[in-house]
Structure 1
Amino acid sequence: MNQVYLNGEFLPAEQAKISPMDRGFLFGDGVYEVIPSYNGKMVGFEPHINRLNNGLKELKIQLSTQLQDWRTLCEKLLSLNSSGNLGIYIQVSRGADTKRSHAYPQGISPTVFAFTFEIPAAPVADINNARTAKVITTTDRRWQRCHIKSTSLLGNVMHYQQGVEHSANETLLFDQSDYLTEASSSNVFIVKNRHIVTPPLSTALLPGITRQLILDILRMHSEYRVSEAQISKTDVLNADEVWLTSSSKELMPVIQVDDTLINSGIPGEIWQQAQALYSKHKFDY
């Protein structure tokens, strides 16, 4: 029976109850994180918690939980749920009020909920056995504060569903000027002439933790030129390699964008080297 955490208590998932008046349910008024772990070892724990705290600050949700408190909570959840390859989902909403009102209410306590779920084994840097993706492209129609990892994910869900309906694994999103922002549930990198590029951070995309770790690791441990710069749709379609990155995907090579094959439909050698470096150094964070 899966054990979860809810407002200071560890209990079976079936016993966890949250009020229907909770603003996370009524408004999506909250933030969340997903921290990957492999055999009890978490990846990017502190950067994930820092991003959670940044989101809480943006939403003016006050929570006194400290970094070590979060670590203790996550480690106990892992131990209660048999470790293995698990994602740790943490959600903090503003809490439950007695009435539904758009304005932030005063005097209510945040709702803190966390649980674990199985994730695939860590990707292996093997061109012949890589998990690959086919993607479609569309105009980004989400809100203008995508840097907040909000539980209000309807825009992302609708874009992801576009991919599903076209038998694709993901949907790449482009702004009104046809510049890449991100994908519906991933950040995006391209490679051209051995130059690795990802869009710069802005309110149009999530500051992905895997994105951050990859940039740090490549800049420290590789000889490749790595940049944050605007990427046009033409750049994507003419790229030597395209990658999706997220906590669960790590680095996933894209082999087709719309009707265009990338690198003749096979993962690239630079992806292989980058994934190997990420696998080696991801537990340093």
Structure 2
Amino acid sequence: MKEGWIEKERVTEAGRERELEKKRTIYIKSDLYPEGEFVPELEARLSVFDRGFSVGDSAYEYARTYGHKPFQLDRHMDRMFSSLKVQRINPGPDKKEFCGLCEEVTKRNISLLEKYEDYNIVFEVTRGDWGWHGRRTPPPEGYGIPTLIVKNNLNDQKLCAYYYYAGVHVVTPSGRHVSPQAWDAKIKTYSRLNYVMADLEARLVDPGATALMLDESGNLSEAIGANVWLVMDGALMTPTDRNILRGQNRNNIISLAKKLGIPYIEKDLQPWHLYNCEEAFLSTTYPGPMEPIGRFNGIMIGNELPGPVTKRLAGAMSDLVGIDVTGQDRLSNEEKTELEKERARLNEERGVMAHIPY
């Protein structure tokens, strides 16, 4: 396969995103927009004293459309409000009203997309503007105006096609995931320096790699924006929710596995399990929802890519959302042939362990 295929696609998608952001609308309510306004994306303003910017005091969610229609927005909103409850932030609008804002922003922007493109639906709440940047304590009750932002960005399933054929390379960085003794990973917040450092370290190993963090006990935790799954002895396994964000697609995978009669187990998993599994994948919203794992710390894993359980779940997920989640329908015949040859080569190498460097 030609080197740089995935890098080229990422550049193409980034260029398309730059085109769209010049035309899109976002919703923002804050001290600068006290009544809430729909404004051009590139004209929106945010106070430099906003606590989401200055200390990461925020919660957010990432839903998406399938076939230009919002998918499970209400479930993402439930998770947003569960985070806000723990953080003691009252956003103002209730769940139904907030969902309405997300739907309205997406409706205003959807005509900008090509038929095969979709949007992520990103909604954010910060504690708002409160004093100069050094004031770390939150405002007293009754003071401060929470900032609400709703926006869209591009989600093109073509990136999924590459991962479906060639697999994701996941790398464990030296640092560990934040312990639940510090804060609960089930809170979805922009305070994510640990993710940033983990991702930077993974890219030093492989520029295309994704970081898969371990917890303080050495168990598999989660990847950057994704939950990890593996199959061993015919059973589908994933880490417990002690130190992960419970992704909505994680919930969907659990439901589909039960529907398909696939044995499902939540347990502590170590790197050993991933090295020796029959197959593995990540579940995520972007580009998502399922990305087979091809290599772990440089070593090919699994018996086949994608594995039989991954294929069954991807088929069921495609039926659920109404489009082909593998992204294969986004490929030209030439691209599909090229990636199929690469998959065959990798699976042959995987079978004889020719990739082991000793």
Decide: shared fold, TM above 0.5: yes
Q: Which amino acid aligns with 1:23?
A: R
Say whether the 8 Å CA contact 1:32–1:150 is kept in structure 2: yes
Correspondence for 1:111: 147
Is the Cα contact below 8 Å between 2:25 and 2:108 reproduced in 1? yes
Q: Would you say 1:196 and 2:229 are equivalent positions?
A: no
Whether the 8 Å contact between 2:27 and 2:150 is mirrored in structure 1 is: yes
Partner Cα separation in structure 2 for residue 172 and residue 129 of structure 1: 18
- Give SS of 1:34's match: strand
Per the normalisation by structure 1, the TM-score is 0.91
Tell me if the contact between 2:125 and 2:147 (Cα under 8 Å) persists in the aligned partners: yes
The correspondence for 1:133, drawn from 151, 159, 168, is 168
Q: What residue number does 1:183 align with?
A: 223
For residues 214-262 of structure 1, what are the alpha-carbon distances to aligned partners after superposition, in whole Å with 9 as ceiling and x for unaligned? 111221x211101111111111110111111111121100011113211
TM-superposed CA distance for 1:185, in Å, is 2.3
Residue 85, structure 1, aligned to residue 130, structure 2: no
Write the letter of the residue equivalent to 2:214.
F
* Equivalent position of 1:143 in the other structure: 178
Deviations 1:139-181 (A, max 9, x none): 4534232221111111111111222222243111112332111
Q: 1:224 to 1:63 in 2, by over 3 A?
A: same
Give yes or no for contact 1:127–1:272 (8 Å, CA) kept in 2: no
- Pick the aligned partner of 2:136 from 67, 78, 102: 102
Q: Does the 8 Å CA contact 1:123/1:130 hold for their aligned counterparts? A: no
Give the SS at the match of 1:82.
helix
Q: Which amino acid aligns with 1:135?
A: V
Give the 3-state SS of the residue equivalent to 1:254 in structure 2.
Answer: strand
Q: Is the Cα–Cα contact under 8 Å of residues 166 and 305 in structure 2 kept in the other structure?
A: no
Q: Going by fraction, where is helix more abundant, 1 or 2?
A: 2
Instruction: Spell out structure 1 runs of 4+ moving beyond 4 A.
Output: 126-129
Unaligned runs of 5+ in 1: none
RMSD of aligned alpha carbons: 2.1
Give, in whole Å, the separation in 2 of the partners of 1:211 and 1:236: 18
* Structure 2 CA distance for aligned equivalents of residues 132 and 179 of structure 1: 22
Task: Please tell me the residue identity of whatever aligns with 1:74.
Answer: C
Decide whether the 8 Å contact of 1:40 with 1:79 is kept in 2.
no
Alignment size in residue pairs: 280
Mapped partners of 1:105, 1:98: distance in 2: 9
Bigger drift between 67-76 and 148-157 goes to: 67-76
The separation in 2 between residues aligned to 1:177 and 1:227, in whole angstroms, is 19
Checking the alignment, whether the CA contact within 8 Å between 2:57 and 2:127 is kept in structure 1 is yes
One-letter amino acid matched to 2:145? S
Q: In structure 2, how many angstroms separate the alpha carbons of the residues matched to 1:127 and 1:271? A: 15
159, 168, 193: which is aligned to 2:198? 159
1:252 and 2:295 correspond: no
1: CA distance, partners of 2:265 / 2:199: 27
Structure 1 residues 32-54: Cα deviation after superposition (integer angstroms, max 9, x where no partner): 11111123322221221011001
Asked which structure has the greater RCO (Cα within 8 Å, sep 6+), the reply is 1
Unaligned 5+ runs, structure 2 = 1-22, 30-35, 112-116, 323-358
